[in-house]
């Protein structure tokens, strides 16, 4: 996903109009701006410390500089700006600036943990970083049934998904590393449900065949579970191919019961749906 731009509007409002402005801005103005093309989200900030002469900062995230330019030249931008001017006029002073997003970095979704498994193997369990991309992608083949990628698989798409995982606050991509080698990874996500509260799903869990039956899978799964619990997840699920009887038994021993039947319809580009 492109990093985008930030459009910052700093506002100083006359104290006697501040409450009125705050409500109108939050409930009417910003939602209207956000409904315009190219906007992703807005954060409204109020200065609580520091020498700022403008007390309210509104940071709009947009897809691109072009999207911002198109908005600023649009009739909607003119209408919204003149609404502001008509309603508050000299009572509000606005300063506008645009920023290019150079990097969008997040704190790790979980702290790293050390573990020792069978054969005296020292593991570091940690969230994946961008530097793990090739190692993680290289392990996908161990998840392919019969060694062949599923229909429609593309490495480009897999790489894009890897990066999406890293940037998604509701997902976690975790690795187990020993002596600089990635020997296992797990991909998990959490999502809201109305009936059961927050649920979690482990999409992938794989251990390098050279490191199996030592407790690596068990330790990484526990690590994922601790992340899920901190996220407020109450149920964790995973899907295992019907032919993977050993993996299913492993999961059963880790407390995953055979709970439901997964029904799947799939289609791929170039093939008539349903596949």
Ligand X SMILES: CC(C)(COP(=O)(O)OP(=O)(O)OC[C@H]1O[C@@H](n2cnc3c(N)ncnc32)[C@H](O)[C@@H]1OP(=O)(O)O)[C@@H](O)C(=O)NCCC(=O)NCCS
> Taking contact as CB under 6 A, which single stretch among the options 99-107, 125-133, 159-167, 247-255 is the one that binds ligand X?
247-255
Map the footprint of ligand X across residues 214-233, applying CB under 6 A. Answer: 214-218
| Cβ–Cβ < 8 Å for 128, 183 | no
Question: What Å distances lie between residue 239 and 33, 56, 140, 252, CA to CA?
Answer: 41, 47, 16, 12
213 interacts with ligand X by CB under 6 A: yes
> Taking contact as CB under 6 A, which single stretch among the options 56-64, 69-77, 89-97, 208-216 is the one that binds ligand X?
208-216
- Of the two residues 2 and 119, which places its CB atom closer to ligand X in the complex? 119
Strand order in the sheet with 39-46: 39-46, 56-62, 5-13, 92-100
Map the footprint of ligand X across residues 72-131, applying CB under 6 A. Answer: 117-118
| Smallest gap from residue 212 Cβ to ligand X (A) | 3
Dihedral sign from CA coordinates of 266, 269, 274, 275? negative
Helix residue ranges per DSSP H, 26-94: 30-34, 65-72, 75-88
Q: Helix or strand or coil: residue 14?
A: coil
264 interacts with ligand X by CB under 6 A: no
| Smallest gap from residue 161 Cβ to ligand X (A) | 15
139 interacts with ligand X by CB under 6 A: no
| Cβ–Cβ < 8 Å for 4, 62 | yes
Three-point CA angle 23, 27, 31, nearest 5°: 140
- Of the two residues 58 and 184, which places its CB atom closer to ligand X in the complex? 184
Identified binder of ligand X from the candidate list 113, 204, 222, 225, rule CB under 6 A: 204
DSSP 110-142: S--EEEEEGGGEEEEEEE--GGGHHHHHHHGGG
| Cβ–Cβ < 8 Å for 234, 199 | yes
> Taking contact as CB under 6 A, which single stretch among the options 86-94, 222-230, 238-246, 260-268 is the one that binds ligand X?
238-246
| Smallest gap from residue 241 Cβ to ligand X (A) | 7
Residue span 140-179 as binding mask against ligand X, x where in contact by CB under 6 A, dash where not: --xx------------------------------------
Q: Using CA atoms, how far apart are residues 43 and 192, in angstroms rounded to an integer? A: 23
- Of the two residues 168 and 204, which places its CB atom closer to ligand X in the complex? 204
Contact residues: ligand X, CB under 6 A: 117-118, 142-143, 204-207, 212-218, 238, 240, 244, 247, 250, 253
């Amino acid at each position: 996903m492109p990093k985008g731009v930030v459009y910052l509007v700093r506002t100083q409002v006359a104290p006697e109009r501040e409450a009125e402005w705050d409500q109108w801005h939050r409930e009417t103005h910003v939602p209207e701006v956000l409904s315009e093309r190219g906007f992703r989200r807005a954060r409204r900030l109020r200065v609580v410390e520091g020498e700022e002469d403008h007390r309210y900062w509104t940071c709009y995230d947009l897809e691109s500089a072009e999207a911002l330019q198109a908005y600023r030249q649009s009739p909607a931008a003119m209408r919204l700006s003149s609404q502001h001017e008509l309603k508050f006029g000299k009572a509000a002073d606005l300063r506008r600036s645009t920023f290019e997003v150079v990097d969008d970095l997040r704190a790790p979704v979980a702290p790293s943990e050390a573990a020792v498994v069978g054969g005296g193997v020292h593991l570091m369990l940690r969230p994946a970083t961008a530097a793990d991309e090739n190692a993680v992608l290289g392990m996908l083949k161990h998840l392919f049934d019969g060694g062949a990628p599923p229909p429609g698989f593309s490495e480009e798409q897999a790489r894009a998904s890897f990066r999406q995982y890293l940037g998604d606050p509701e997902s976690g991509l975790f690795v187990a590393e020993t002596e600089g080698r990635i020997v296992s990874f797990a991909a998990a996500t959490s999502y809201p449900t109305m009936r059961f509260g927050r649920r979690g799903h482990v999409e992938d869990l794989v251990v390098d065949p050279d490191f199996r039956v030592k407790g690596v899978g068990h330790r990484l799964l526990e690590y994922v579970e601790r992340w899920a619990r901190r996220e407020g997840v109450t149920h964790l699920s995973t899907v295992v191919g019907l032919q993977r009887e050993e993996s299913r038994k492993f999961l059963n021993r880790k407390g995953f019961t055979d709970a439901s039947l997964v029904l799947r319809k799939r289609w791929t580009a170039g093939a008539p749906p349903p596949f």
